[in-house]
Amino acid sequence: MMKKINIISMFIFVLFLVSCDKDDKVDNKIDLKFPDLKYTVWEGTKTHVYFDDTKVTDDVYILFLSESRGNSIVSGKTSSQQRDFEYVINDRLLTIEGQTVNFTNHFLNGDWLLTEMGVNRMVLVKDLHNRRDKYILELRKNNSVDNQ
């Protein structure tokens, strides 16, 4: 009985060795790319995470009008903004430049790094290196606009 177990174990071990190919490579590279944003609508949240892990979340609605222009509505408990903006995409970086009104910058102004991408979902982070606070933008594509 013990011989059969040893033979079966050796057979499984040999199969394991034969099945492993030295040319098999594990690709740990994250291949994140922005979708074509032109003529798309995205909804979600902008979360401001403070150094003490306090979080303030605002609702976000973004309409990308062209390859370089958009419109957004950001609304929270204490304030709301609707602004036009211009944007540029460079690899995984989305740079938004919005209007300044009454010395108040656009809530979405700055460089946003794409950290997650799904079929109809993307997560962007701003000020990731900042120890005091950072921003997380979680957006879902509004497909109901495409179907009209």
Residue-wise pLDDT tens digits, 22-48: 554 544 445 667 888 999 999 999 999
Sorting pLDDT into bands at 50, 70 and 90, what band is 17? Answer: low
Count of residues making up the chain: 148
pLDDT of residue 26: 46
148/52 Cα distance (integer angstroms): 44
- Write the pLDDT tens digit of every residue in 106-128: 789 999 999 999 889 999 999 87
Helix (H) or strand (E) segment spanning residue 113: strand 110-117
